[in-house]
Amino acid sequence: MRTWKKKKQQPHALTPPPLPPEHVQSELEPVAKKGKGKQHIPTPREMVLEQEVRSLYSDENGALPDLTHLERVRSHRVRNVLIGLTVFFGLLATVAWAGFFVFQPYGKVSAQDVTLSFEVPDNAKSGEELMVRIHYVAEKTVALESLEISASIPSGFVLRDTTPPTVGEHRWVIGTVPAGGSGEIKLLGTVVGAPGNLLAFQAFATYVPVNFHSPFQSVASAAVPVSGSLIAMSASSTERVLPGEPVTVSFSYENTGSFTGMDAAFRATLPPGFVVSKATPPPSEGPLFWKLGSFGTAASGTISLAGTFSSETKGLLSFVGDLGFATPGSAFVAQSSVSTSVSVIGGDLVLSEMVNGSAEATAVNFGDTLHTTFSYANRSEAQLQDVVLVAHLVGTPAGKSATVLSPVFDALSITDSAHGVFTTSTSIITWTKKEIPALAQLAPGDEGTIDVTVRIAPKPTVPAAKEYGVELWLAGTVGKVNGAKKDRLVQSAVLHFPVLSDARFTASSRYYNDDEITVGTGPLPPKAGAETTYRIFWTIENGLHELRDLSLQTTLPENVRFTGKQDVSAGTVAFDEKTRNVTWTLNKLPVDVQTATVDFEIGLTPSTAAIGNILPLTDVAHFDATDSVVGAHILRSEDPVDTSLIGDPLGRGKGVVLK
């Protein structure tokens, strides 16, 4: 009799129902039969055993296997062999690559196969010559197929020469380098960084080892603090003054080093309320900037400023002078700075002005009207007698106050609440005790105002002057103080108003152009239910300053269609379906391009409710641009255009909608 070792039974959530005796008999003959010719009836224990055997060995159909003999189970030998081979070759590849890196004859390939380093001084002074060395060394076990080095140079270091010469900007091609080979790159230049700053250098080596044809990189950096300057400076000034009294400020400089060839410049910063009457030598660029040219060995000089403080100024006020270098392509960098202070005692006659409601100057347009209020007051404890006031209305090119362009003002537009005397040749208004009796004697605390209105000319009157400006201030002379003759002059701060470019913008609607050629389609006059197309023309004229960031925008009514047809001399036109905005943009309009034009087509379909009316074709058009010289916005607007076609040679007056 065969015997089987029972598998360990797994727990089951459900116990199968007992089998009928005939099933047990037929499927388990060795167990059911106890002897020949005798029928055995299973006991309850045997029935439980039958259930356990069936749960362990029955197939998915409930049938038990033939347990009279055993069969060998077929194993997955082929699959196991393939898995084993895969693992074996994977391990073999890993070992091979590890051996390449560990045992290859030239040593390891890493980012340290080339060592970069800088040789720089501990510190440097602005204006002195500086040598910077970049060292490179290849590892003893690695030869290099190629080597290139590039450097990042700080703006405070002007590079004059390199050894070896560069190939491209701050780049050197070294080529092949033997194992253990080395070399250096020399950078010779001048320090122009301001004292207190750091000169940060950085170098990058890109190389390819001979046994590994992929590039690697090494990096090195160094910083040199700028500890001082080779430019010596000093300053002196009047120590104590009253407003209106003369003040002289002097700045002296000297090159104490041996460097040459740098373009030097000087910049002055003045306290509020100081009015310059004379500068020696005259500024070369702007009111407070001097270009000194090439700064040679032992170069020296003095810059002097003469002027007065405005009447409302008081306190300890500082003048600052900076001398530095204007490096190519970059802004002025100060190398040495010095300051001097003046103590201003509060004055007696205090003068001020307010223009268009503000004490600050802003950009203005040709044709603008300036509403100015001049104020005067006695802030002392003394009697001020025989006071004379003079208002200066001066048109000048920006930053060049010495050149008077009186035609900037429209003399006929001047109105004066105190009826002073206007002198056309000098653009001044004078008030004495004859025009203002209170000026004969101003008691302590007395004050007053004068209102003056003046209009700027509607267009440039001197085309050669590209930088128009308007300057306003009030000056006063005190004849006597408590009966003692003084004849002391004081004045208010000068307000300078730059005048924006003479940009003009027009908008019109047309059915015919200037040559009487049809540019529209459909019925004219327009008819209800039928579409008529028109052309909207925008024209920009400009000739004084370059304009940048230009834009023109309008909104189309709901019954007006943007067809997409357009003709633009420069820039682009776009239409937004959601906002119904038509926008034209242009990045720049040079002064030599004095006119830019834009036109686009729109279609109008009037409703029956519009019969007998003139219909709008666009909303108000808005023009915005930045004046490149003044640095302020130019804003213009034009009224909506409609079907009346004002300016159309043939279509004018044909704008009323018909049936």
User: Which pLDDT value is given to residue 536?
Assistant: 95
Same structural domain for residues 519 and 609?
yes
The reply to whether 238 and 144 lie within a common domain is: no
Confirm whether 65 is domain-assigned: no
Q: How far apart are CA 591 and CA 599, in angstroms?
A: 22
Question: Where do we find the tokens 């690695």?
Answer: 142
Q: Is 439 helix (H, G, I), strand (E, B) or coil?
A: helix
Q: What is the pLDDT of residue 321?
A: 93
Q: What's the CA gap between 43 and 21, in Å, rounded?
A: 10
Assigned domain for 289 exists: yes
Q: Measured between alpha carbons, how far is 319 from 260 in angstroms, rounded to an integer?
A: 28
- CATH code of the domain covering residue 338: 2.60.40.10
Residue 242 and residue 129 in one domain: no
Running DSSP on this structure, what letter comes out for residue 386?
S
Whether 307 and 368 share a structural domain: no
Name the strand (E) or helix (H) holding 57.
Answer: helix 44-57
Which token pair is 139? 């590892």
Q: What is the pLDDT of residue 328?
A: 57
Q: Is the dihedral of CA 325, 326, 328, 331 positive or negative?
A: positive
DSSP letter at 156? T
Please check whether residue 291 lies inside any domain of the structure: yes
Looking at the fold, whether 522 and 472 belong to one and the same domain comes out as: no
Residues 144 and 248 in one domain: no
Q: Is residue 74 part of a domain?
A: no
CA 352/CA 149 separation, integer angstroms: 63
What is the spatial distance between Cα 8 and Cα 15, in angstroms, rounded to a whole number?
A: 16
Q: Is the Cβ–Cβ distance between 269 and 319 less than 8 Å? A: yes
Domain presence at residue 56:
no
244 and 361 in a single domain? The answer is no
Range of the domain at 633: 504-638
Q: Which of 313, 344, 375 is the last residue of a domain?
A: 344
pLDDT at 21: 45
Number of domains composing the chain: 4
Residue 216 lies in a domain: yes
In a domain, 58, yes or no: no
| Domain co-membership, 486 together with 585 | no
Joined together, the tokens standing for residue 243 give: 């407003």
Assess if residue 41 is contained within a domain: no
User: Rounded distance, CA 211 to CA 179, Å?
Assistant: 12
Q: Tell me, what's the pLDDT at 311?
A: 85
Q: Which of 498, 513, 534 is the C-terminal boundary of a domain? A: 498
Backbone region of residue 368 per phi and psi (left: phi > 0; alpha: psi in -120 to 50; beta: other values): beta
Give the contacts of 625 (CB within 8 A, at least 6 positions apart): 503, 547, 548, 549, 550, 551, 589, 633, 634
Statement to judge: residues 412 and 271 lie in one domain: no
Closest-CA residue to 391 (of 376, 407, 378): 376
Q: Which of 498, 524, 550 is the last residue of a domain?
A: 498
Shared-domain flag, residues 168 and 242: no
- pLDDT tens per residue, range 88-101: 666 656 545 444 44
How many whole angstroms separate alpha carbon 58 and alpha carbon 24? 13
pTM of the model: 0.58
Residues 525 and 558 in one domain: yes
Per the structure block, which two tokens stand in for 117?
């380093």
* Same domain assignment for residues 316 and 361: no
Q: What is the pLDDT of residues 37-69, one digit of tens each?
A: 445 566 666 675 667 656 655 665 666 555 555
All residue ranges of the chain with pLDDT < 70 are: 1-46, 48-50, 52-112, 258-262, 326-330, 396-407, 462-465
